[in-house]
Amino acid sequence: MEPIQKEMKARSRSTPTALKLHDELRLRGISSYCEFWDGYKHIDLAIPSHRLNIEVDGEQHNLNPKQALADLKRTYYSFQKGYFTLRIPNSLVHSNFSECVELIMQIIGPNGDKSKI
């Protein structure tokens, strides 16, 4: 499958909130990937060059104990592989988009400096 076809397929599986975040990160020069398969699960947004996974979660991730435990297990799996998982509630992206993006950029570091992670 061609790269553009892969990207379109991944975008079709992404939520509008995750896509909004993905597109803004790309505009800022960060290579992020939608619905990235890590061999265990699909990640909403992955930034492999910085070993950063971003999950954009709906409220069911906080209100349902089974879902919360499953998320914690997925976070642990990624951690074992050397990846940091950042969980961002949908509500935060909707209500404070600019600040949310700025904080992600600070986590990544100046000019995409991956030594901060």
pLDDT in tens, 79-107: 999 999 999 999 999 999 999 999 999 99
Q: Looking at residue 116, what is its pLDDT?
A: 46
User: What mean pLDDT value characterizes the chain?
Assistant: 84
Extents of the domains making up the chain: 3-111
Neighbours of 34 (CB within 10 A): 24
CATH annotation of 3-111? 3.40.960.10
pLDDT tens-place string over residues 20-41: 999 999 999 999 999 888 888 8
Give the pTM.
0.81
Q: Which of 50, 18, 49 is nearest to 34 (CA)?
A: 18
